[in-house]
Amino acid sequence: MPMLDQHVLEAFRSYSSPDLRPTVSLDSHLQKDLGLSSYDYMSLLDQLESQMQVQIDISSLMHAQTVADVVAALEQVYDGAVEGSP
């Protein structure tokens, strides 16, 4: 889901320091590469939930280590929301 990839990458870039923004990729580690605190991560997930208009089960994202892990988990949430819609 390429659009989701880009949407999530942009969200992570917005939470990263300006000098890191150009380097944010799907392989970026949330803490090691991006330096996100747990508060930043939870705020980012809340923002994504609002923007995507889905309810995210935070427990499914607690073990995510990279941006790609977050995208994969959100794809499952988004696919479930689309399948469950009338």
Over residues 33-74, the pLDDT tens digits come to 999 998 999 999 998 888 888 788 888 888 899 999 999 988
Using 50, 70 and 90 to split pLDDT, how confident is the model at 85? Answer: very low
d(CA 86, CA 16): 37
Question: Within 10 A of 82 (CB to CB), how many other CB atoms are there?
Answer: 9
State the chain's mean pLDDT as an integer. 85
Domain 2-84 of CATH type 1.10.1200.10 = yes
Q: Average pLDDT of 9-23?
A: 90
**Residue 46: which residues within 8 A CB-CB, separation 6 or more?**
none
